[in-house]
Structure 1
Amino acid sequence: MKHILLLVLLFTSGTLLGQTCLESIMPTTPTTNFVDNSDGTVTDSKHGLIWMRCSVGQSWQNNSCVGDASALSWQQALVVAHGYVYVNQQGWRVPNVKELASITEGQCVRPAINTELFPNTPADDFWTSTPSVTDPQRAWVIAFFNSSNSLKEKNLSVYTRLVRTAN
């Protein structure tokens, strides 16, 4: 019983503390790999992608993401991205699984993302545009809780972050 209580206390205290990072691990998404475009987007110079700093549903205000991220089905996320205009730019889309995994921060959990670049990111699943090869009812998600990936049913409500290819 003591062990269960200790695990509950550790899990609860970690949840209350927010993001945890291990400084002994090299960052996987150092801020130096990104250019702040001063408009709520950052350019990943390593991968040639422009990312919205906020999740769909949030807005960029005073150098932070404010409001609640919107949880959408996979189809809703694709529809929202189609024709989306942000900072007078078109071409926004739901990232594929490799693109979204490229912004996970391996040295951190809860959330597993560089919070300087992507503030107030929910420590939860985010849609990718990559469908399952074996199950047409599922698509890949990246969990910004711990950088893991998995398949989720497309009708579930999951968060979304949009990307576009840098010109």
Structure 2
Amino acid sequence: MNKIGMFAVLAGCVAAMPMVHADCASGVPLVNPDSDYVDNGDGTVTHEPTGLMWQRCPFGLSWDSQTKTCAGEGEQGGATYKNWSEALNDTAELNFAGHDDWRLPNVNELRSLLEWSCENFAINATFFPITHQETSYWSSTTMMSDPTMARMLSFSNGSESPSRKSEYFAVRAVRGGN
């Protein structure tokens, strides 16, 4: 392929990718820079400081290695939303990238992905390209004061809050850990 053809293909890929804008503090080092992650080449990424392996795409989307993004037809912004029980069960039953020990992350594991020096997209967009900023993600952490509620986390601003387990939020599976 000639240089013009290659440029056209690359420009088309970039144009098709969702635009993500993170407001990061100027001159402040990132908490989770690209160097903290290893792309496993199979739709997963390993966060080296924690040893956690993550699905790059939320449930309802699948990794497209050609375009380096998540693809598929889901509900809200592409992701398939689930209630807490569905999220817990579906991650436990997941067989993905040669592993069958996936689970719903606890709230501390989800927090480990937060990019605290940024807002409007407080997660590493290089390795988690489809993490819609208006979407909250379930954790496996049940509220001690009310077992009908669990913690969820928003990657818009890093906020964490309890929600009824009957509500529907996005899901991302995790495995392993140090």
TM score, norm. by length of structure 2: 0.80
**1:45: Cα distance to partner?**
1.2
1:108 corresponds in structure 2 to 118
**SS across alignment from 1:71:** coil
| Letter paired with 1:126 | Y
1:9 corresponds in structure 2 to none
2:6 corresponds in structure 1 to none
**1:17: Cα distance to partner?**
7.3
| Contact 2:94/2:100, CA 8 A, preserved across alignment | yes
How big is the alpha-carbon RMSD for the aligned residues of Structure 1 and Structure 2?
Answer: 1.7
Counterpart Cα distance in 2 of 1:66 and 1:20: 25
1:163 corresponds in structure 2 to 174
Aligned residues, how many?
152
Counterpart Cα distance in 2 of 1:54 and 1:117: 9
2:43 corresponds in structure 1 to 40
| Contact 2:20/2:125, CA 8 A, preserved across alignment | no
| Letter paired with 1:110 | N
TM-superposition CA deviations, 1:67-125 (whole Å, max 9, x none): 31111100110111122011121111100010010001112222211000100211121
Sequence identity (%): 36
**SS across alignment from 1:99:** helix
- Say which of 54, 57, 60 aligns to 2:60: 57
TM score, norm. by length of structure 1: 0.85
TM-superposition CA deviations, 1:3-30 (whole Å, max 9, x none): xxxxxxxxxxxxx974322233321111
**SS across alignment from 2:88:** helix
The answer as to 2:99 corresponding to 1:89 is yes
2:159 corresponds in structure 1 to 148
Could you tell which deviates more after superposition, 67-76 or 18-27?
Answer: 18-27
TM-superposition CA deviations, 1:41-62 (whole Å, max 9, x none): 1111110110111111111012
| Contact 2:20/2:121, CA 8 A, preserved across alignment | no
